[in-house]
Amino acid sequence: MTTILEVRNLIKSFRSLKAVDDVSFSIPQGACFGLLGPNGAGKTTTIEIIEGIKKPSSGEILYKGKPRDRKFSEQTGIQFQSTALMDYLKTHEVLTLFAKLYPRSQPIDRLIELCQLEEFLDTYATRLSGGQRQRLLLAVALINDPEILFLDEPTTGLDPQSRRNFWSLIKDIKSQGKTVLLTTHYMEEAELLCDQLVIMDKGKIIVDGSPEVLLQQYFDHSYVCIDQRDFHGDISALTSPTEKREDYIAIETNTVEKTLAELVSLNINLRSLRVKNPSLDDLFLKLTGHRLRE
């Protein structure tokens, strides 16, 4: 598959702090590529350097095999983590304005349909709900029919329903063959949308690959989970490794049946029992010792 974007040895320092520390990766054309990591991992700095918003301390970024030029800003779409739009402009006026800032743009009607903006076309952009606003910002990012789309934490702050709707939109965009670079700290989002990803922590890439391959590579077990309020027995009596997480206990197991038998023998209430496969969050915990959202 052709590489559309290549990042080589990217470094960004703020005085003594290295926010991005020798980061390299390449993104195949048409892929949804994820930058996953906790807050402060360096995801936003990395993506903003790639977008051309920030300057790197050192490193190289190649778009279609060449250093970025004016074509890059004409062929890319960007949705920032936080951005405001002009006061007193209505949704359709925002779209018209941004369409005129590019040499070529796609029909606004198509974007309105794709991003489901019909209901609030005549509403001031500053009065939109969080989900509506993100859909409008996505439409703005798509206005020039970009070859590569940058989405920086696009669902942060959205309610679960809006988040799911947004994922569905991104899947539609992916199906059009567009390349997407997505930063997120939601493992579920990354697992659902990303074909390939890198996990970052403290400015460095700690692992990269496709979500499925990474999980297969690092885990050969599942988790049996039980709410803490139902677990009155002696946790050390279990033969498998256990871990207290938020309000439940996760028991690492290769054979679910054997663990269930142990729990029954300890007279544990099984009403909250569920079996969970390892996630990217578990992978991050395994690699760094702390959780993604800590």
Residues within the interface to other proteins (CB under 8 A): 51-54, 70, 73-74, 76, 78, 80, 82-89, 93, 96-98, 100-103, 140, 144
Instruction: Please state the closest distance from residue 224 (CB atom) to other proteins, in A.
Output: 46
Cβ-based nearer residue to other proteins, 70 or 271: 70
Distance CA 204, CA 199 (A): 8
> Among candidates 277, 180, 264, which has minimal Cα distance to 230?
264
* Residues paired with 33 in a beta bridge: 181, 196
154 in Cβ contact with 189 (< 8 Å): no
Angle at 87 between CA 82 and CA 91, to 5 degrees: 80
Residues near 257 by beta carbon (within 8 Å), at least 6 away in sequence: none
Structure tokens at 240: 């498998």
Distance CA 234, CA 267 (A): 10
Distance CA 284, CA 40 (A): 15
Cβ-based nearer residue to other proteins, 64 or 245: 64
Cβ-based nearer residue to other proteins, 45 or 242: 45
Cβ-based nearer residue to other proteins, 44 or 253: 44
Cβ-based nearer residue to other proteins, 67 or 103: 103
Cβ-based nearer residue to other proteins, 53 or 270: 53
Residues near 52 by beta carbon (within 8 Å), at least 6 away in sequence: 68, 72, 73
Instruction: Please state the closest distance from residue 96 (CB atom) to other proteins, in A.
Output: 7
Instruction: Please state the closest distance from residue 89 (CB atom) to other proteins, in A.
Output: 6
Distance CA 95, CA 137 (A): 9
Instruction: Please state the closest distance from residue 168 (CB atom) to other proteins, in A.
Output: 24
Instruction: Please state the closest distance from residue 145 (CB atom) to other proteins, in A.
Output: 14
